[in-house]
Amino acid sequence: MDIKSMMIKAAESQADEIRKGILESIQSEETEKYLAEKMDKAINIPFVKDDKEAKIFRDIADLITDVVYHVAGGK
């Protein structure tokens, strides 16, 4: 195998590892919690208690991260 092929193979391997890390980060509890907290601070749903709002935003964050994961190539 020549040096060019070796470098390409190494770069592809590194790209795969980075992609896996990004996909894991997207699906992490920390990302969902962060996204839900941001939505909760930015949006107030009238006549809905704060604890119910938090649950709603957590469910929405879960849905968003699932969609992003799928679109980004996750299974």
Range of the domain at 40: 3-71
Measured CA distances, 26 to 14, 37, 59 (Å): 18, 15, 15
Judge whether 72 and 26 are in contact, CB under 8 Å. Answer: yes
Tally of domains within the chain? 1
* 34-75 residue pLDDT tens: 999 999 999 999 999 999 999 999 999 999 999 999 998 887
For the entire predicted model, the pTM comes to 0.78
Backbone angles phi, psi at 43, to 5 degrees: -125, 135
Long-range interactions of 8-14: CB distance < 8 A, separation 24+: none
Measured CA distances, 46 to 49, 53, 57 (Å): 8, 10, 14
Res 41: pLDDT? 94
Give the burial class of 60: count Cβ atoms within 10 A of its Cβ; 0-12 exposed, 13-18 middle, 19 or more buried. middle
Res 74: pLDDT? 80
